[in-house]
Amino acid sequence: MPPILEAAARPTLLLVGHGMVGQRFLEALVERGVADSHQVVVLCEEPRAAYDRVHLTSYFEGTSADELSLTPADFMERHGIELHLGEPGQSIDRAAKTVTTPAGRTFAYDILVLATGSYPFVPPVPGKDAEGCFVYRTIEDLEAIETYAKDAARGAVVGGGLLGLEAAGALKGLGLSTQIVEFAPRLMPAQVDEGGGAALLRTIERMGLDVRTGAGTQEIVTDEAGRVTGMLLTDGTQLPTDLVVFSAGVRPRDQLARECGLEVGERGGIKVGEECRTSDDAVYAIGECAQTVDGKVYGLVAPGYAMAEAAADAIAGFPGSFTGADMSTKLKLLGVDVASFGDAHGATEGCLDVVYADSRSGTYKKLVVDPDGKLLGGVLVGDADAYGMLRPLTGSVPPVSPEQLVLPAGAGGPVKLGPDALPDEAIICSCHNVTKGQICACGTLPEVKQCTKAGTGCGSCVKTILQLLPQSGDKGLCGCFGHTRAELYEIVRVKRITSYARLLDEHGRDEARGSEGCEICKPTVGSIIASLAPAIGADGYVLAGEQAALQDTNDHFLANMQRNGSYSIVPRIPGGEITPEKLIVIGEVARDYGLYTKITGGQRIDLFGARVDQLPGIWARLVDAGFESGHAYGKALRTVKSCVGQTWCRYGVQDSVRMAIDLELRYRGLRAPHKLKSAVSGCARECAEAQSKDFGVIATASGWNLYVGGNGGMTPRHADLLAQDLSDTELIRLIDRFLMFYIRTADRLERTASWLERLEGGLEHLREVIVEDSLGLCDELESLMAAHVAGYSDEWAETLQDPERLARFVSFVNAPGTPDPTVQFVAERDQMKPDLQVLIPEGALTAR
């Protein structure tokens, strides 16, 4: 028997730095088989493995550190990768091919890859190290800011770029009055032009943030204890503040390379070639620490990913290079869409601009084109929906004129370009350089993400990817669920699932399980659980436990937010019938709280202008007077309008007021895919306009006619006659069935009009199902409605009885008794209206 030979030791690949780019590099090594042929060792400075720094601000919105993680739990073990957390590289000995850590440990390497990223630039001003000064880079930074903000009222951010606006949004979300100081003459100077910066500035100031452009920081002012009390600007202005966040850009972390003699750029960054190899053939540098062959240091994740793949190719012996990157980006900053692509600043000689600006809405669109019509780049602020199509068209002549791509409807645009307008070689996902052709070769969004990684970076391309996959048959609600809303309804009903987390874990797409979900499916599932609550044993209160995190903005405070940050109160007035005593209560509440009062077309009284902290006091008085929530804030039944009917009108043939009240009290609080409106007319003269409602009732001499699927608004539709001459009992039974069948089968945010037009077989099929019971569902539909009626309770009455629930109704989480000074009003026609020109005074708090 021949002797057993020891296997040759595998060469060691040492990665220093484990951020987003470092993790992508490891994945690229695995994909190319390098992790099998090499011993891979990783030194990570932070106490946790790579996480999503692009969405770091979501940490303040409840996203946990684990949810931000980019490293699957078993990734390192599964691929034999040795990870050392909290142990950065401190020095490199290139001759010995070793890296030493601060703990004194030495790691040998055959191949060294530096992915040390960047560090926040802090201007060298007096006081920069004072207590209350922070940077905005890591989860630990955010935890420190969150802790310090609990005892602060005012915050300032130095820097008005991408990270600066992210930081400002975070401070505002923590309840601090927020100021932004930007040295450049406009916000986001690297991404947007002067017009885009002006539009962004107006929008952000309307949100209540104080912005100073064209001003630098001269000194951080402190008290005797060394705590921040203010900032002195270069223009002489003094800003009072309790907390300062420096977000004035980043610098490449190239100190390790400098100290060991690797070549670095004059302005920083480890010089690398096309393979991302440094001046030492055994050492590579990728990401923000590297200066590439085009002389740039890239601060976006997409170029970092491209460098990671180029280095992995070189190590694996595959062809690949990095010579430059697309700097296009699309972000939502402080709720504002901002995008730039291509030659956004019009640096190309002889180029022309096509600009549309609407300062009232905060919309700004600019396309840069060649005289021959070729699209060179653009800037989009306020409305960036076209980004997904425009960016891939950069460098080509669009199939329509540039004007048609930026003008609004009614002014020659907008023209919506479909996926067919894009060539197969168009880059759809710039984070991973994935083309339209590669995406179209896949069948579903999960396949696209798995096979190409498109959609797994910044996420701005997902909408375009979905448009490119009509052939996939994937009709899933969103990227989290492969099921339609109707299918999810059935799953929740049959399995009696009472939590979003369980539904996502058991029925979500594989790549979405364990995530926090998205803004599409969370409110949708919340609505499904609420509509089925009594039947499945769930808590019907929409803000109970996990349900609170699923709700849309208005549902969070059981009120509609208005444009100046105040809220409206809409008590239910069934059938429009109200006693003088109740009218007096409404009048007294409006007077005492200074609310704007309006009688609506739906026979309700709306009260506008309440601060969030005033809502419980207002509703306490209304509930004591016998009023309930009118659910104007929810996707639920709004009103059942009525005429006075035969009781007063000489033409009336039935008691329409009584029927309207019966229906409104029966269906109040019923959560649905969209809002529901109804009306009851006492005769064929149709004074209540029943035929423009989701379900409308018109009296006849023999009973009631039931109409369904109507709607007003931008696309009005007359309702269809479903059944005639119904008795009271028959009418209510059919409406029960109609509503529950709609809730069961409609898509997210689909009104009954659209649903009925989409329903296969249309009105006839609906009649077969809910009148003739062709599917045998009617008993079940009636049972579900009976459970809703029996389980109904008023949301505001419940809220007022629970101190924990009332605790959410404050303007500022760190100053519960402080009113929001940014909610201001001016007088008009003996009432008040929002003062939309108000700017935050220095030192004021901003609304939560």
Q: Give the residue ranges of the annotated binding site for siroheme.
A: 687
- N-term to C-term CA, the chain: 78
Which tokens belong to 75? 């990734």
Please state, in angstroms and as integers, the Cα–Cα distance from residue 476 to each residue in 479, 484, 489, following that order. 7, 5, 13
Q: Which of 529, 625, 457, 451 is nearest to 31 (CA)?
A: 451
3-state helix, strand, coil in the chain (%, to 5): 35, 20, 45
Q: In what order do the strands lie in the sheet with 82-85?
A: 82-85, 39-44, 12-16, 111-114, 283-285
Cα 36 to chain centroid, rounded: 39
Cβ atoms of 569 and 610 closer than 8 Å: yes
| Burial group, residue 293, by CB count within 10 angstroms (0-12, 13-18, 19+) | middle
- Give the number of other CB atoms < 10 A from CB of residue 40: 25
Q: Which residues fall in the annotated binding site?
A: 643, 649, 683, 687
- Residue entry with tokens 């479903």: 722
* DSSP per-residue letters across 576-619: G---HHHHHHHHHHHHHHT-EEEE-TTS-EEEEEE-GGGHHHHH
How far is Cα 531 from Cα 341, in angstroms, rounded to an integer? Answer: 44
How far is Cα 778 from Cα 770, in angstroms, rounded to an integer? Answer: 6
Please state, in angstroms and as integers, the Cα–Cα distance from residue 120 to each residue in 135, 138, 141, 668, 702, following that order. 7, 10, 11, 53, 78
Cβ atoms of 577 and 661 closer than 8 Å: yes
Q: Which residues fall in the annotated binding site for [4Fe-4S] cluster?
A: 643, 649, 683, 687
How far is Cα 769 from Cα 277, in angstroms, rounded to an integer? Answer: 69
DSSP H or E stretch at residue 98: strand 98-100
How far is Cα 745 from Cα 484, in angstroms, rounded to an integer? Answer: 9
Cα 537 to chain centroid, rounded: 30
How far is Cα 414 from Cα 339, in angstroms, rounded to an integer? Answer: 17
| Burial group, residue 353, by CB count within 10 angstroms (0-12, 13-18, 19+) | middle
Q: Which of 473, 387, 399, 376 is nearest to 428 (CA)?
A: 387
| Burial group, residue 841, by CB count within 10 angstroms (0-12, 13-18, 19+) | exposed
